Each structure stands twice: as C-alpha cells, then as structure tokens.
Structure 1
Amino acid sequence: MHLHEYQAKQLFAEFGVPVPAGRMVESPPDAVAAAKALGGERWVVKAQVHAGGRGKAGGVRLVDSMETVEKTANDLLGSHLVTKQTGSPGLPIHRLLIETTVAIDRELYLGMLVDRATERVMVMACAAGGMDIEEVAERNPDAILTEAIHPAVGLQGYQCRNLGFGLGLGGEQIRAFTRLVGGLYRLFDQLDASLVEVNPLVLTADGELLALDAKLDVDDNALYRHAAIGDLRDPTQEDDKERSAREHGLNYITLDGDIACMVNGAGLAMATMDLIKLHGGEPANFLDVGGGATADRVAEAFKLILSDAKVRAILVNIFGGIVRCDLIAEGIIRAVQEIEVTLPVVVRLEGTNVDKGKALLDESGLSIVAADGLTDAAQKVVQAARETRS
C-alpha cells in the first residue's frame, strides 16, 4: 500500500527521522493559513499523489508570497498530475503539502527495500540525490552503496558508518546519519514496509540532515497488524477496477491492450500474457483469480473484465489443481449466462477433471471457444479480437 508524502513524513518524525516543517491542506485558504503558521518568506507547495517525478511534472512549486501560495493551491487542487509513472490520465490532486524552504548544501539518496536475491532488507545510498536512482544505477552502478541487514542481528552501527563515509560525511554528520538510518530501519521493521525511500536526503547549510522527500510502501499482507496504517489508504489514487478486484480477493492490474485475461496463478498469468504478445495481441489486464477460484469469484472477474470498454476478447486460462476443472467450467457458464457476455470467450482448461470441464462447456450451448493448449488458446483469442475490431 502506497502512502502520501505527508503521511510518510508524519511516520518518519515518530521514528526520529528529521523532516522539514510542513502542513497538509485541502483548500487554497488552508494553504495560505498553513504558510502563515509555518512562517518565513518562501514555501514549497507539493501535490500529494502516488507517483514519482512530481517536480518535473509541475507538481512541486516554490512560491514567495501569500498570493502565489493561494494561486498555486487553486491551480493544483482538483487537477490531475501527469508524470512518467502515471500514464496519460494522471492522478487527481486532492491534497497539498506546504513546507518551509531549506538551504541545501548537498543532496543524497537513501532507500531501503526487501531484496529477494539475498532475502534481506537492503539499505541503499548514493551521493547523487535528487535524481532518478534507476538512471544513476544504469549509468554508474558503482555509485550505489549497499548494506544487507542480517535478520537475526538487525542494522549494525558499522553498516551506517560504511554508508556515511561512502557518501563523504564525517564527524557529527556520521552520528546524525547513523541515528537517521536507525530510525528508518525501525520504521521499516515495525511497520512491515516493503519500500522506504528518501530522495533527496539533504545536508543543509547548517550541516543538518533532513528527509526532504519521503516515500513509504507498506506490505498489503501485513495490514491486518496495522489497522491505523490501513486507514491511511487513499482510494482516489487507485484504479477503480484494481480497487474493486482487491475487495473480491482478486489480483488485477489494468494494461493497455484489448484482450482480457482471466488466469489462476501469477506465473501462469504472466505466461499467458507473453503468449498473447508473441502471437500479435495485446493484453488488457493481469488478472489472477487465485488457486482457490470459485464460481462467485469467476463471475466477479468477468464483471471486472467487462467494465473495461476497450476489451474485444476474453481468454480464460485455468489450471485445475486445487480446484477441479468441472467446477471452474460451471462458474464460467454461470457467469457468461448471468452477465450476458457478448464478447468472444476462449477457454483453456487443464488439470483435474479437465474432460468433464470441457464437456460442460461443449454442452452449454454458449458461444465459448474451447482451446487445446496454451498456444492454441492464444492464437484463437488474438484472432477473435481482430475479428471483433474489424
């Protein structure tokens, strides 16, 4: 689950990570009031959306008068911010973060994530802060400093010092950096985070370290332990279909193509999309109905698929392991009948009771195309989509 910057900074502060003074607002008058309360002569107005690249897209603006604060808030609130991470529709701006300005001496990068290769939390740091870390890693991978945290002993002081010295810090700055990294790791561990990122982490003209930006993602699977964190979810920043899918226990991601996929198992779903691409089609979604797919879940999956106006054909690819193919076939038939699916539906079944499942589809009298094997299914659904488009 993604958090807004202002939410992440509130949590940072609770764990002893220094952040600039700021206030979240939802209206232009509140923005002016926040700037007055913060004091000073210049402020930063930041659009609160779940996407990176806000500054380049005009979502982070430096202002130097109350009139400009109000005008900027009026311009941003209610609009959509389009960045390289949002796609063309962009994300709606309903909240702003008003912050005091900081005299910056250096910009650094600091991040933590779960590294699947080492099965440990990895701390990353780089002297090139304020830039896209992916671009830095591609151009100069040696610039990325890393320390893997052993799960049994946790973050060690020498690891913080290694990173600090690698960033060119010294003296009191090393001690402040060690405290900051320690706070971030406690936050990461106690809140079951999957990603923490500070870009930039700035060294001020006074020699202080501040988290000028904050990104925090929390593992959805751990939210049952963090009810207060779950309450911070902002549904306006999520795709409507993806939100509906989550409510019904489905894993759904919207894509740009016109061939909808309904598959049980993430790996099989990826392979299905690859085959569709290989045979000249474009997937409209990633949809994993899970290993315990039921008739009700299949019906909800069809509703999700049909809510996408660009879909021209549907491929159902089910491997009946935990759930028998005949039960899946019954669910498909019921869903097609109840929802009145008019688009071409290609079904590939394999696994337990596959013959019974195919027989049910054949005897249903519905216009469901049975496929023998994944390649045959991909070819048939790509052709069906072409015919529907023409």
Structure 2
Amino acid sequence: VILKAQAIAPGLAAASTREVADPAAAKAAAAELLTIDDGGRKPRGILVEARPRGKAVYSLSFTYDGTTKRPVVAATNMAGKIDDLADEHPDRIVRRHFSALYPFSDYIAKELAKSLSLEGNDLKRMTRIVSGLARLFLKYDLADLDITSLVKLGDGNFVVLDVEADLEIEARHRQRPMLDELGFGKDDLRQVREPTEFELEGARIDEEDPRGIISPIAEFDGNIGLVIGAGGGSLTLTDAVRKHGGRPANYAAIGGNPSVDKARRLTKLVLTKPGVEKIAVMSNVVSNTRADLVARGVIKGITELGFEPKDKILIFRVPGAWEADAAKILEKYGVEYCDRTVSISEAARRAVEKVG
C-alpha cells in the first residue's frame, strides 16, 4: 500500500509518502509520517491507498506565465513535477494558455489531451480532468496546481496519486471559508521557516507607518544591503546584483511614495544587519514615489548611525519624480546620483564593483 501524510506546507511532498508491503512496516511508516513538521503543525492525517496498477502515467501543472500574463496548463506523459521534467525533456512538454477572466473552455483541454496522443475514451476522460482542474485553479485563486502523478488504470479510468496546490497569498480574504475549514488562522502564512528578527522588524516598520510600503522582506547571507523599489523591477535588481557577482544581504522593496521616516528606518535596519558593509539604493523609474524623499530618508538614516553617506552608499539610482531635487541633496553629501541613462544592470555592476 501507499501511505501519504496530508501535510499542508510547501517542500514536503517527497518526504510525505511511503510505500510498504506489510502491516508492521505500515505501522512504523505511519508513526514516522505523523512526526513530519509541516510548518508549525503535524499532518492532518494519513491517506492509505492500495498501490494502483497503471498502464500509463501523466503529469499536469497549472500556473501563471509571467511573460504572457496569463494562466497556463502544461502536461506530459511522464511522472514528476513539470518544472523538473521540462529541464531534461523539453520536447515532451505540451502547453496551452487560457483566460483568467472568462470561463475555461473544454476545447482547450481537448487540444492539450490530443497533444499527448490520446484518443477515444482516453481523450474524453483527460479532457474532463483538465477542465475540472482548470476551473478549480481559477475558483480557488491558486498560484500553482501540480498533479505529479496521474495514472491510467487497467480499466481505463484515471486516478490522481499526488497533488500539490499553492494559494495566491493576496487571495486569503476571498478564500477565508476554505482556509477556516483547513484550520488556517488569519495570520498563519504557512511559511517554510519562521521569519527572522530582521524580517519581523522590517514588517513592523512597514506596519507602523502607512505612507508607502516595504514588502516583501527577506534576509540573506550577503554583504550588500539593498534598499530597492520598482515592484517587479526590484526582483530584476536583486538578480542583477547576483549576476555581477554580488551577494545581497536582503530583499526589501520600498515604494508607494514612502515617507522620509520610513526610508530612514529601513536604511538603519539594513545597515545594522550583521555582515552588511554598504548599501545600494536602486529603483526603476518612479512616478508615485518621490526620489527626493527617499534620498532624505537614506541620508538621515546613515548620519544617525554616525557614518558619512558617501562612505556607505554604493550607488543611488532612483530616477523619476523629483529626481533633480534628489540629485542636489546627494551632491551635498558627496554621493553620485544616477539617472535613467544608467541601466539597472549597469547600476548593479557598479555597486558590486565598488564593494570589492
């Protein structure tokens, strides 16, 4: 039989399954599975199923395509996670995009199933499965839905052996009834690890001042402190630092026109993090964030720590609204201001080069 611990946490799929052949082994495996840490609570239970005798196996994955900004379903006639399989067998993965605004069409599911060379009753059954999962994906605001093993049995029916689902964090309020049923509290984010003191303090700074936003916040083992903005551009900035050989000490995206005090407190938090030598202040072109307020806050935070801004700022690239004023402020303290003619990649390169 197969024993599957019902663990509601990412990263535990591989560790939550055991295959056993006799009652004694099943008892031992169950005792072990019940000790799994699923992010603060034990598994809700153990599912016991007879090992299916399958004639064929498939995998499905529903997620969002960042390039097209649309949901996408991918499938293959192999078992495993689509992301992993795509690296080794890209030619065996088929994909179809669909709309997040309109009802899912069975035609898309049928096209996908045909691409897997299914026909007859197999085609009909797979079409129903894909359509049902796509509607579930949209209904419950999922960010990811992975079927890592969809087996065709000897009688022609299909059975799902393993499912991994990830809820979009911003949809928690809409999915409150489901989360309540699963035992999730309003503040229960089911994180893989407990937040660090650095991350908790960053969240407190954000919560205590409603002007602007600092989110998300993450701590790394690096020496370059990052005070960055631009929404998704902040991810690009972080990746650019790594690309050029730098080691980010944190991720903390600040935006939404933060106050001077918010920028000040974030700067002090980042600079006092153990291992941080200097900070890079970078952003994409801003419109609703004032570059001069960010500059004032960063400089104030540095001077309150007893340092000279020119000795702690690797680069300041926040082009956009009020950038002329920001440049004047920085010039007074001997800090070079970079406008939009300096690309994100070039700004990251300069920062890494200066930290040595």
Does the pair score TM above 0.5?
yes
Could you tell me how far apart the structure 2 residues matched to 1:305 and 1:191 are? Answer: 37
Determine which of 226, 238, 241 is the counterpart of 1:261: 226
Contact 1:110/1:125 (8 A) holds in 2: yes
Structure 1 gap segments, 5+ residues each: 1-40, 79-90
SS of 2:257 mapped into structure 1: coil
Quote the residue 2:82 is aligned against: 133
Contact 2:255/2:289 (8 A) holds in 1: no
TM-score by length of 2: 0.72
Query: Deviation per CA, 1:235-255, whole angstroms, max 9, x where unpaired?
Result: 442561596456734133444
Does residue 332 of the first structure (1) align with residue 324 of the second (2)? no
Does residue 322 of the first structure (1) align with residue 288 of the second (2)? yes
Quote the residue 1:9 is aligned against: none
Does residue 209 of the first structure (1) align with residue 178 of the second (2)? no
Structure 2 gap segments, 5+ residues each: 207-212
Q: Mean alpha-carbon deviation: is it higher for 290-299 or for 268-277?
A: 268-277
Contact 1:110/1:126 (8 A) holds in 2: yes
1:262 CA drift (Å): 0.9
- Matching residue's letter, 1:237: V
Determine which of 59, 65, 72 is the counterpart of 1:115: 65
Contact 1:265/1:291 (8 A) holds in 2: no
Could you tell me how far apart the structure 2 residues matched to 1:206 and 1:223 are? Answer: 40
Could you tell me how far apart the structure 2 residues matched to 1:377 and 1:118 are? Answer: 27
Q: 1:132 to 1:149 in 2, by over 3 A?
A: closer
Determine which of 278, 295, 305 is the counterpart of 1:313: 278
Contact 1:111/1:197 (8 A) holds in 2: yes
1:216 CA drift (Å): 1.9
Quote the residue 1:357 is aligned against: 326
Could you tell me how far apart the structure 2 residues matched to 1:379 and 1:173 are? Answer: 54
Q: 1:132 to 1:121 in 2, by over 3 A?
A: closer
Q: Mean alpha-carbon deviation: is it higher for 327-336 or for 159-168?
A: 159-168
Contact 1:192/1:219 (8 A) holds in 2: yes
1:49 CA drift (Å): 3.5
1:284 CA drift (Å): 2.6
Quote the residue 1:77 is aligned against: 36
Could you tell me how far apart the structure 2 residues matched to 1:226 and 1:98 are? Answer: 25
1:143 CA drift (Å): 1.7
1:109 CA drift (Å): 0.4
Q: 1:119 to 1:108 in 2, by over 3 A?
A: same
Contact 2:74/2:82 (8 A) holds in 1: no
Does residue 44 of the first structure (1) align with residue 1 of the second (2)? no
Could you tell me how far apart the structure 1 residues matched to 2:349 and 2:93 are? Answer: 44
| Aligned pairs, number | 325
Does residue 344 of the first structure (1) align with residue 312 of the second (2)? yes
Could you tell me how far apart the structure 1 residues matched to 2:73 and 2:336 are? Answer: 48
Larger relative contact order (Cα-Cα within 8 Å, sequence gap ≥ 6): 1
- Matching residue's letter, 2:46: I
1:259 CA drift (Å): 0.8
Contact 2:9/2:190 (8 A) holds in 1: no
- Matching residue's letter, 1:346: L
SS of 2:172 mapped into structure 1: helix
- Cα RMSD after superposing both structures: 3.9
Does residue 100 of the first structure (1) align with residue 48 of the second (2)? yes
Contact 1:235/1:243 (8 A) holds in 2: no
Q: 1:104 to 1:289 in 2, by over 3 A?
A: farther
Does residue 177 of the first structure (1) align with residue 126 of the second (2)? yes
1:289 CA drift (Å): 0.7
Query: Deviation per CA, 1:98-151, whole angstroms, max 9, x where unpaired?
Result: 11133141321012223344444322221112x242343234333222333356
The aligned runs of 1:15-30 (5 Å cut-off) are none
Q: Mean alpha-carbon deviation: is it higher for 285-294 or for 349-358?
A: 349-358
Does residue 154 of the first structure (1) align with residue 154 of the second (2)? no
Quote the residue 2:259 is aligned against: 294
